[in-house]
A = this chain, B = another copy of it.
Amino acid sequence: MIKARKEVSKLTIERMAVYYNTLMKMKEEEGVEICASTQLGENTGIASSVIRRDLACFGGFGRKGVGYDVDFLLSWIQEILGYNTEWNVLLVGIDIPVTGIVSYYSFLPPGFKITAVIDLDKNNRGYTFPAYNLAIQPLENLKTVIKKQDIAIGFINVPPKQAQKVVTMMVKAGIRGIANFSSVPVAVPEHVFLSQVNVASCLSQLSYSLRTGIADGYL
């Protein structure tokens, strides 16, 4: 198991995911096999010094003047970000037959798999997504589903009023990580990992910049 040499910042992890996607693109589209940090920098828009520092957090292995072996770097990042493990995901939402689940699939990192879907509206029970071999279940099934399917991660995208309630149910059922797509913060105990997927916040950076004419601050 690859261990970080020191405390790793959230932004480093975020950039590692960007390196992964970009390297995959460079490999698949251009057949790149060896990649210098400067080249990765040009393709990501991230300074090559930052890239070298990020990778060095986990024990840098690029050879000076040679660059990184793309395949090795990809499998190494996969290992670091936990993409090698299969993570069963439960999605809890509302109006899922209308909102759909395809958009979640397009965002899933390698290793993530939505294996169960719950809709807060009982009327949507039994609605199926044949392409994904999924059927919508009611909230009452939450605990059973998590235990039976060994679900590690819960996605929630429910109205603000229901968010904390659903999270608490997930935690009690033994979930290990939660991605909160709803627009309000939720609280989890220390042993559960939480990721705020705050699209509205990202978009607010944009309106802030457009209003003020200044870029969205320093990282």
Interface residues of A (CB under 8 A from B): 1, 3-4, 7-14, 16-18, 21-22, 25, 29, 43-46, 80-83, 85, 87, 95, 98-100, 102-103, 106-109, 111-112, 152-153, 157, 160-161, 176-179, 183-185, 187, 193, 195-212, 215-219
- Identical chains bound together, number: 2
Partner of A83, one of B11, B44, B207: B207
The chain B residue with its CB closest to the CB of A112 is B203
**For A1, what are the chain B residues with a Cβ–Cβ distance below 8 Å?**
211
Known: A14-B201, A21-B160, A177-B210. 5 other contacts (CB 8 A): A80-B208, A87-B207, A176-B210, A195-B216, A197-B202
CB<8 Å pairs between A and B, sample of 12: A13-B216, A14-B205, A16-B208, A18-B201, A29-B160, A80-B211, A85-B207, A85-B211, A87-B210, A107-B199, A179-B203, A196-B202
Query: Are A219 and B102 touching (Cβ within 8 A)?
Result: no
A197 vs chain B, min Cβ distance (A): 5
How far apart sit A103 and B212, CA to CA, in the bound complex (Å)? 28
The chain B residue with its CB closest to the CB of A157 is B106
The chain B residue with its CB closest to the CB of A197 is B202
Query: Are A204 and B99 touching (Cβ within 8 A)?
Result: no
Query: Are B203 and A18 touching (Cβ within 8 A)?
Result: no
- Take A9-B217, A160-B25, A198-B18 as given contacts and tell me if A207 and B103 are in contact as well, using a CB distance cutoff of 8 Å: no
How far apart sit A45 and B198, CA to CA, in the bound complex (Å)? 15
**For A199, what are the chain B residues with a Cβ–Cβ distance below 8 Å?**
107, 197, 199
A17 vs chain B, min Cβ distance (A): 4
The chain B residue with its CB closest to the CB of A103 is B103
How far apart sit A185 and B107, CA to CA, in the bound complex (Å)? 14
- Take A99-B103, A198-B18 as given contacts and tell me if A9 and B218 are in contact as well, using a CB distance cutoff of 8 Å: yes
The chain B residue with its CB closest to the CB of A4 is B212
How far apart sit A205 and B13, CA to CA, in the bound complex (Å)? 6
